[in-house]
Structure 1
Amino acid sequence: MSKYRSSRINEEMRKEISNIIRNDVKDPRITAMVSVTKVDVTKDLSYAKVFVSLYGDNKSKEETLEALKSSAGFIRREVGHKIRLRNTPEILIELDDTIEHGMHIDELLRKIKEQK
């Protein structure tokens, strides 16, 4: 699969999964703000790693991540209806903490700057 096609599929999957989580998933455990940051689909289109960033306290993050993982089958079915692919990839949801990590590094740099 060409690099261009895989990046188009990744971006289209990211958009659709974000819309599905925002509008269609009705799980009451989803209390944190959810943002789909990245989707990586394997070359054979069998798996899609979905990276989500969650905003909220730790307890709501854990509950929301668990709810998203349990609704992965529903998300996969909805993606299959909206995006025409030969095989609909299996959804694997992972927590993306790069924003928090970046904020931590920014805080460390700010402290170093204040010490000088």
Structure 2
Amino acid sequence: MADPARAAKLADRIKSVVARALETRIKDERLGFVTITDARVTNDLQHATVYYTVFGDEEAKANSVAALEANRGRLRKAIGDNIRMRLTPTLTLVADEVPENAQQVEDLLRAARERDAEVAKLAEGAQYAGGENPYAADEDDEEDASK
């Protein structure tokens, strides 16, 4: 079993090899604007998972996914040609969902800001129900307490 540091270095190398192979080796018309975002390798160095995002509409995404799956063997061959290991790791391609999740978080934050603005607008003309400091003792009460 390899150490995690070696697996992380190999994952970085695989990420760059796959990105370069998509630019130079893979000539598929269906392949759109694909960005390799991350790669992870198991500690035994036998399996690699490559995460990617696709820029475009749903049709472009579907075409790019089909092109990536069709060329997975070529990508694995490129990895084998560029790393010096006894065994080339198996390759799994996974769509990265971070951009979609980030968009959901942005939508939630925007909704919270809108609600905060509504509350601030309601609070502009508000007055205290029992005075500015309702728990402060009156001056008369203080004099009675001191006697």
In structure 2, the partner of 1:7 is 8
Scaled by the length of structure 2, what TM-score is found?
0.74
Map Cα deviations across residues 16-47 of structure 1 (whole Å, 9 max, x no partner).
1111112211011112x111111111223222
Scaled by the length of structure 1, what TM-score is found?
0.92
> Separation in 1 of the partners of 2:4 and 2:49?
17
In structure 1, the partner of 2:59 is 59
- Structure 1 position 43 matched with structure 2 position 51: no
Q: Considering fraction of residues, name the structure with more strand.
A: 1
> Separation in 2 of the partners of 1:73 and 1:90?
9
Post-superposition, which runs of at least 4 consecutive aligned residues in structure 1 deviate over 6 A? none
Q: Please, which runs of 5 or more residues in structure 1 have no aligned partner?
A: none
Identity %: 27
- What is the letter of the counterpart of residue 27 of structure 2? K
Matches within 5 A, 1:1-116: 1-31=2-32, 33-116=33-116
Q: When the two structures are aligned, how many residues end up with a matched partner?
A: 115
Root-mean-square deviation (CA, aligned residues, Å) is: 1.1
In the alignment, is the contact (CA less than 8 A) between 1:50 and 1:93 conserved in 2? yes
